[in-house]
């Protein structure tokens, strides 16, 4: 059986979540927009899931907008807020290392005439609140800074950034929290106005996510139709997906696997810290479930194939861009040296991993390093 260490790409669905999804689809299959009794029951279930997620996120009065996942929620936040606030200004601030669903949405808005500023990051992937202070303006309408980076695990200084935003503008502060949910406390509602969450990163189901916003700070809709989902996202509601998502959020918040992730991350760091053929890309103070390294003089694909041949699944970087053979914008932004930057792999832990899995991983890494040092022809595995 393969050891799965690509949990930042997606996770194995929780059995309880699968059972909930199946049960709701069988029993509450009616359209929640329908006026009959079955429709009303489905609507009540949807409203209950919405309330549960809002409460678990820290503010029961929040608006929870269910989406097809993190990408749609990020698009709704970036484009939706830009459209709803353009009467105030056209200036938006984000970072160099955002997920493509934020980054490309901002680039789209740039073509539409909005002014976008990208905050730089240091070698650990952190933005500077001081640079944010220099770039923020009275006409800044939106700031979007992810909580935990999906490729290297950097935790951004959200609290410090929030203080700058509140002191110098009326901008909405949005944070992509897809990688922090269930691993770190959410910065919502204390420090940010809106957060993006995704079910399949927390042992939920693919195709379900949400944008959570404070009341009266909602974005403008970017899809049009019958006005479902509180008017923000038209289309027949995925009741079973929403209820299963609420179940996954509850389970992951009740559990605490962070001590395991910290111990495993520290073990890998101790193993590789002094190794000249390896550059550790994940900051020591980052989210411990993501451990990203770059091997010198080889490609990430070679490393992934070697690990897979030895029973371990890892990825080259973000799963969204791992098949393009390009050096990711995150790796470029943190200035990984040229002879390392093509050899990046991301190891990401999940609740279903065990100590024995990590023992095997350590052994495979040691053998892989021996092969590199001997100059063996790893290209045969490409």
Q: How far apart are CA 31 and CA 41, in angstroms?
A: 9
Taking alpha carbons only, the member of 290, 282, 308, 289 closest to residue 381 is: 308
363 contact partners, CB below 8 Å, separation of at least 6:
none
Where does residue 380 rank: exposed (0-12), middle (13-18), buried (19+ CB within 10 A)? exposed
Q: How many CB atoms lie within 10 A of CB 175?
A: 27
Q: Which of 106, 210, 281, 320 is catalytic?
A: 320
Q: How far apart are CA 97 and CA 100, in angstroms?
A: 9
Q: How far apart are CA 102 and CA 142, in angstroms?
A: 12
Q: How far apart are CA 97 and CA 164, in angstroms?
A: 20
Active site includes 161?
no
- C-alpha dihedral (252, 255, 260, 261), degrees to nearest 10: 30
329 contact partners, CB below 8 Å, separation of at least 6:
96, 97, 103
Taking alpha carbons only, the member of 191, 159, 189, 193 closest to residue 174 is: 193
Cite the active site residues.
Answer: 320
């Amino acid at each position: 059986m393969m050891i799965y260490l690509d949990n930042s790409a997606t996770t194995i669905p929780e059995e309880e979540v699968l059972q909930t999804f199946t049960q709701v689809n069988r029993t509450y299959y009616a359209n929640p927009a329908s006026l009959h009794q079955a429709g009303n029951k489905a609507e009540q279930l949807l409203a209950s899931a919405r309330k549960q997620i809002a409460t678990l996120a820290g503010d029961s009065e929040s608006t929870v907008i269910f989406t097809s996942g993190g990408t749609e929620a990020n698009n709704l936040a970036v484009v939706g807020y830009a459209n709803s606030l353009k009467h105030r200004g056209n200036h938006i601030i984000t970072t160099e290392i955002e997920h493509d669903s934020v980054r490309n949405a901002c680039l789209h808005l740039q073509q539409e005439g909005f002014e976008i500023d990208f905050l730089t990051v240091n070698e650990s992937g952190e933005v500077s609140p001081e640079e944010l202070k220099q770039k923020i303006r009275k006409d800044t309408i939106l700031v979007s800074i992810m909580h935990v980076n999906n490729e290297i695990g950097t935790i951004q200084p959200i609290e410090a950034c929030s203080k700058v935003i509140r002191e110098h503008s009326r901008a909405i502060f949005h944070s992509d929290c897809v990688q922090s949910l269930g691993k770190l406390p959410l910065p919502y509602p204390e420090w940010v106005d809106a957060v993006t969450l995704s079910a399949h990163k927390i042992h939920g189901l693919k195709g379900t996510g949400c944008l959570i916003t404070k009341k009266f700070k909602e974005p403008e809709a970017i899809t049009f139709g019958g006005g479902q989902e509180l008017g923000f996202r038209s289309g027949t509601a995925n009741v079973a997906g929403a209820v299963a998502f609420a179940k996954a959020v509850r389970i992951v918040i009740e559990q605490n696997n962070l001590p395991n992730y910290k111990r495993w991350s520290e073990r890998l760091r101790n193993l590789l810290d002094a190794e000249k053929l390896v550059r550790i890309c994940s900051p020591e103070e980052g989210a411990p479930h993501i451990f990203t390294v770059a091997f010198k003089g080889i490609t990430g694909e070679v490393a992934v194939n070697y690990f897979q041949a030895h029973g371990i699944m890892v990825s080259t970087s973000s799963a969204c861009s791992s098949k393009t053979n390009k050096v990711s914008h995150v790796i470029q932004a943190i200035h990984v040296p040229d002879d390392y930057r093509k050899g990046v792999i991301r190891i990401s832990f999940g609740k279903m991993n065990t100590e024995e899995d990590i023992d095997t991983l350590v052994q495979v890494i040691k053998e892989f390093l021996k092969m590199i040092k001997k100059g063996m022809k790893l290209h045969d595995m490409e």
